[in-house]
Amino acid sequence: MAKKRSTKVPTSKAETAYELLTDVCRVILDEPRRYAQACFIARPGGRGGAQDSRGFNKQPACGTMGCIAGWIVTLKQGDRFSYKNTRHEANQILGMDETEDLFAGNLLDGVKANQGTMAYARAGVTRIRAFQNAHATQLKAKRV
């Protein structure tokens, strides 16, 4: 029997930036259609629409999809943020400025998997885990 997907937008109770990134991994692995690295955040009726770059509707049950930065901010602030400041707000939450290797829109260009698939989500999680490993001390010290 297929797992029923939640229609609620996920939240996080993480206390550190490291734990928050772990929650981002959980969110996108739980529902791969939530992850779209080329889109900050898209919500039903909101800016950006919930479509992939080819226009196919990949909307998850909760109606929200986004990149790593978009999920960092969404998990902590819900929909109370400006789309144009997503990356800046994610950097503030993480307490870091050097996040290009985590937030780049072309982060998964070489991945041989389609957006919305488990393989694509796993590739995103691999990038997050590498970032967590490289910056573990700083991320674990940053309260969110």
Q: What are the pLDDT digits (tens) for 56-95?
A: 355 666 667 789 999 999 999 876 666 668 889 999 999 9
Q: What are the pLDDT digits (tens) for 9-68?
A: 788 999 999 999 999 999 999 999 889 888 887 766 555 444 444 443 556 666 677 899
What is the pLDDT, as a whole number, of residue 50? 41
Q: What is the pTM of this model?
A: 0.83
* Alpha carbons 48 and 78: distance in angstroms, whole number: 17
The residues with which 41 forms a beta bridge, in sequence order, are 66
Q: Where are the domains of the chain?
A: 17-141
Q: What are the pLDDT digits (tens) for 80-91?
A: 666 668 889 999
Coil vs helix vs strand at 16:
strand
